[in-house]
Structure 1
Amino acid sequence: MNSFYKSYKGIIWLIAGIIAGSLAGLIFGERVKVLKPIGEIFLNLLFTAVIPLVFFSISSAIGGLKETNKLSKMMAVMVLVFLSTILVSASLTIMAVRIFPVHEHMTNTPLAETIVKKPFGDQITQLLTTSEFFELLSRKSMLAMIIFSVLTGFATLRSGSYGTAFSNFLTAGNEVFKNVFIIIMKLAPLGLGAYFAYQVGVFGPQLFGTYARSLGLYYGTGAFYFVVIFTLYAFVAGGMKGIKKYWNNNIIPSATAIGTCSSIANIPANLDAAQKIGIPSYIANVTIPLGATLHKDGSSISSIIKMAVVFAMFGKGFDNIETITIALGMTVLVSIVEGGIPNGGYVGELLFISAYGFPPEALPPAMIIGTLVDPMATLLNSTGDTVAAMLVTRFTEGKNWLTIKA
C-alpha cells in the first residue's frame, strides 16, 4: 500500500484537489470567484518556468552526447521507428476523435473566444522563428525556442573540449530548473483545485461531461493500441513467433508500468523482457533507455485528445489540414520534450497551448485530462519501447533475427 501511494501520490493529491475544488464550486457557486487568483498564480508560475526548463533540457541532452560510428545504423533505424510509431498513434487518435467527437455537447461554451486566424505561411514562420533574441523568452515563441535549444546543443557538441565548460553549465541548469518545476508542481493540487472551483462555480457542472467523454475515448483508443497495434508491430518484427515472444514476456513490464507509473522505473523490466525475447543487447541497451525518454506512444494519444478538447472548449474546429499537420508535429515534440522531466506531460501541454496561441485558461483542462490518463499513458509509453526494440532489430539484423537468436 505504501509503495502504491508513493508511486501515485502526485496523481492522488491532484485528483483530491480537483474534487475538493469541484465540490466547493457546486456548493458555493459564483462566490468561489475569490479563488481565481490562486489558480492564475499557479498558471503564471508554470508558464514562467517552462522556458528555461525546456531550453536546458534539450540543449544539455544534445550537448552531452558522445559521438560514435559503431551504432550509427541502429540509431538511424531507431529514430525512424520512434517517429513512425508516434505518428501512427497520433493518426489513429485523430481518426478516433473524428468518429467519436468530444465536442458534440460543447456548443456555446463559456470558454470560447475568438482567436485571429493568420495565413498558413505566416503561422509557420511565427511558429518556428522570431526576429529578435528576447522574443525567444516568451511562451508564445515556444517552438522557436526549442529550435534554438537544438542548435545550441549541437553547437556545444561541435565545440569539443572548448565546449566542455558550457556543456557542464547546461547540465547544471537542467538539474536546477527540473527542481524548480518540481517545487512549482507541489502547488498543483491547490492551484488546479482553485481553478476547478472557479470553473464549476461560474460555468456549472456541464464541464464534467466533456472530461468523461475524453477519458472514455482515451482509454478505449489506448486499449485498442495496446492490444491490436502492439500485436501488429510484433508481427512485423518477427511474424507469429514475434507475437508470441512479445506477449509472453510483456506481462511483468506491463504490471510494473502500472504499478510505478514511471517509464524510467520500468527500464529494468523492459531490458529483462528484451533479453528473453532475444533482442541483441547492443540494441536493447540503447533503444530501451532512450525510448523511456524519447518514445511515448501513450503521450502521443493523450496529446491529440487534449488538443481536441481544448479546441472544442474554445469553439474551434480540430479538423482542418493546417491544424492536424501542426498537431502531428507537436506530438513528436511533446514525446521528445517530456523525456527526463518530472511531470513532463504538463510541459507538453504548455507547448501545444503556446503553439496554437491559446490563453493560459486552456492549460488546466489539458492538465486534468493528462493526470487522469497517466496510468494508461505510462503503460503504452513503456511497453511500447520493447516492441519498438523488436522493430529496430528486424530492420537492423534482418527478418530472420528471431531464428538466429533462438
Structure 2
Amino acid sequence: MSSSTNSKHSLTIQILAGMGIGVVVGLLCSLIVNRTGGFVGDFTSDYLVEGLFNLLGQAFLALLRVLVVPLVFVSLVCGTAALDDVRKLGRIGVRTVGLYLMTTAIAITLALIAAIIVGPGKGFGLATDVSFEAATPPSLVDVLIGIFPKNVIAAMSQGNMLQIIVFAVLFGLALTLSGKPGKRLLAIFEDMNEVIMTLVWIVMKLAPYGVFALIARTFATQGFDAFGPLIKYFVLVLGVLFLHALVTYPLLLKGFSGLNPGPFLKKLREVQIFAFSTASSNATIPITLKTVEEKLGVKNSVASFTVPLGATINMDGTAIMQGVATVFIAQAYSMGLGVTDYLMVIMTATLASIGTAGVPGVGLIMLSMVLTQVGLPVEGIGLIIGIDRLLDMVRTAVNVTGDSTVSCIVAKGEGELDERVYNDKESVQET
C-alpha cells in the first residue's frame, strides 16, 4: 500500500477521532454547564464552548466556504468547455434535475409511510405556548427570474449558487465557441482549477480540528435535555434518513447504472463526515467535488455541474424531515390527513426543493409551505425546532450522498465515468 493511501486512511481516521472526541467533550461541557454553574460553568460556557470551540469551528467553516465560489465557477467553466458535444449539457441538465426530483419524491414518500405506521405524535402533550413565525417564501416566478444573474460579482459575493452555475455554463460555452482565444483562456482556467484543488487539500489537513470544534460545540449546546419529549420523532427521522442513504441510493445506483454500491459507500465516508460536522451542503462542495472526481471517477464535465446543482436543489434529507414532521404535527394537534393531503405533501415538498433553492432557512420555509398547503398550523414547527440542529447535520450527510449518487448515475449514462477508478480499492485518481 502506498504512502499516499496510508496518508488518506490516516486523515479519515483522524477526522473520525475528532468527531468522536468532540461528542464526548461536548456532552461533558453540557453536563458541567447545566449541573455545576458558578465560575466553572461560566468558564466552560463562555471560554470553551462559545469561545475556543466556536472560534475554531467557524474559522474552519470560513475556510471551506471561501473555496466554494471560485471552485464551482472555475470547475464548471472547465467542465462545460471540455464537452465535445454542447448538446450533452442539455441532456446532463435534464437527467440531473429529473433524478434529483425523483429521489426527493421517494424520500418524502418513505417518510410519510414510516410516520403513519409509527405515529410519533400520538398522545403528545401539546404545549399551549408553542409559536413559530415562518418567513415568506418567494413566488415561483421570482425564483425563476432570480436564476439569471444581473450582476455576476454580486452573485459571487452573495454565494448565489444558481446564478453562478448559469454564468459559468454560459462562460464555458463561450470559451468553446471562441476558437483559439477560448483555448488560451481555458488553459489558464485549468491551471486555476489545479491550484484551487490544492487549496482544498490544505483545508482537508485541518479537518480533524475543525470537525472536533464543530461537533463539541453542537453537543455542548444541545445536550440530552431537548430530546426527552421528542425522542420518538427524533429516532424515526434518523431511521428514515439512514434507510434512504443506505438502501434507496444504493438501489438507484445499481438499477440505473449497474455500478456496485460497495465502493461508492466506502469512498464517500469522508464526505459524509464533513457534511455531518458542517451541516451545510454548500460548505461541503469542495470535498464532495474532489471525492466524486478523484475517488469515484466522475469526469469534471459532469461533476462540476451535478455537485453544485445538487447542493442547491437536492434536499432529500429535508424532505424526510418534512414528511415525518407533517404527520407528527397533525397527530399532535389531533388533526387527520387524507390520501389527497399526503399526495399534496409529496408534490409540494418535491417542487419546493427547487422553488426555494438558495433561500436562507430553506428547510423550515419548505415545511411551512407544506403545512399551509394541507391546512396544518405552522406554529407546530415550534415543537420540533429545538432538536432540529442535530437532525440537520444528518440530513446534510444524506443530501451529499444523494448528490454523489446522481453524479455517478449521470456520468455512467453519458460515458463520463472511469469505472477503473470507481472500482479501485486504493484509488485516488491523479489530477
TM-score interval, normalised by the smaller of the two chains: 0.5 to 0.7
In 1, the alpha carbon distance for the partners of 2:159 and 2:317 equals 28
Correspondences of 1:28-47 after superposition (within 5 Å)? none
Aligned-partner Cα distance in 2 for 1:99–1:337: 30
Greater alpha carbon shift after TM alignment, 242-251 vs 285-294: 242-251
Aligned CA distance change for structure 1 residues 322 and 209 (closer, same or farther; 3 Å): farther
User: Which residues of structure 2 form unaligned runs of 5+?
Assistant: 1-14, 35-79, 81-85, 161-220, 424-431
Distance 1:327 1:286, change over 3 A: same
SS of 1:373's equivalent in the other structure is helix
TM superposition shift of 1:352: 2.4
Q: Is the counterpart of residue 148 in structure 1 residue 141 in structure 2? A: yes
- In structure 1, runs of 5+ residues without a counterpart are 21-65, 113-137, 158-163, 178-192, 194-204
Could you tell me whether the CA contact under 8 Å between 1:103 and 1:309 is conserved in 2? yes
Aligned equivalents of 1:326, 1:110: Cα separation in 2: 28
- The equivalent position to 2:254 in structure 1, one of 229, 235, 242, is 235
Counterpart of 1:354 in 2: which secondary structure? helix
The one-letter code matched in structure 2 to 1:286 is: F
- Map 1:359-370; keep pairs closer than 5 Å: 359-370=377-388
Q: Are 1:89 and 1:300, in contact at CA under 8 Å, matched by a contact in 2?
A: yes
Q: 1:86 aligns with which of 104, 108, 112?
A: 104
Deviating above 6 A after TM superposition, structure 1's stretches of 4 or more consecutive aligned residues are: 403-406
Alignment of 1:127-206 (within 5 A): 146-150=139-143, 152-153=145-146, 167-168=150-151
Residue number among 405, 408, 412 corresponding to 1:387 in the alignment: 405
- Cα distance, 1:391 vs structure 2: 1.8
Question: Whole-Å Cα distance in 1 between the matches of residues 228 and 345 of structure 2?
Answer: 24
Correspondence for 1:101: 119
Query: Residue 304 of structure 2: which of 258, 274, 285 is its match?
Result: 285
Count of aligned residue pairs for this structure pair: 286
AA partner of residue 368 (structure 2): L
1:338 Cα shift?
A: 5.2
Computed over aligned residues only, the root mean square deviation of the Cα atoms, in angstroms, reads: 4.3
- Select between 252-261 and 297-306 the one with higher mean Cα deviation: 252-261
Distance (Å, rounded) in 2 between the aligned partners of 1:248 and 1:372: 23
Residue correspondence of structure 1 range 7-406 to structure 2 within 5 A: 69-106=87-124, 109=126, 146-150=139-143, 152-153=145-146, 167-168=150-151, 211-239=230-258, 241-275=259-293, 276-318=295-337, 320-337=338-355, 339-397=357-415, 402=419
User: Structure 2 vs 1, CA of residues 237 and 70 (structure 1 numbering), >3 Å: closer, same or farther?
Assistant: closer
TM-score (norm 1): 0.59
Q: What is the CA–CA distance in structure 2 between the aligned matches of 1:284 and 1:98, rounded to whole Å?
A: 37
Cα deviation per residue 1:317-336 (whole Å; 9 max; x = unaligned)?
23x12211221122224423
Distance, in Å, in 2 between the alignment partners of 1:370 and 1:328 is 21
Contact 1:349 1:367 in 2 (8 A): no
**Structure 1 residues 260, 147: CA separation in 2 closer, same or farther (over 3 Å shift)?**
closer
Deviation sequence 1:101-148 (CA, Å, 0-9, x none)? 113323x85669xxxxxxxxxxxxxxxxxxxxxxxxx989x67x5233
Q: Is the 8 A contact 2:143 2:355 kept in 1?
A: no
Per-residue deviation, 1:208: 6.8
In the alignment, the residues of structure 2 paired with residue 331 and residue 390 of structure 1 have an alpha-carbon distance, to the nearest angstrom, of 25
Report the Cα distance in structure 1 between the residues aligned to 2:373 and 2:255, rounded to whole angstroms: 35
**Equivalent position SS for 1:278:** coil
Distance change (3 Å), C-alpha of 1:238 and 1:73: closer
Which SS does the other structure have where 2:298 is aligned? coil
Contact 2:119–2:331, Cα closer than 8 Å, also in 1: no
Aligned to 1:61: none
After TM superposition, the score normalised by the length of structure 2 is 0.56
Whether the 8 Å CA contact 1:235–1:242 is kept in 2: the answer is yes
Query: What is the distance in 2 between the residues matched to 1:341 and 1:153?
Result: 11
SS at 1:71's partner residue?
Answer: helix
Shift, 1:362, TM fit: 2.3
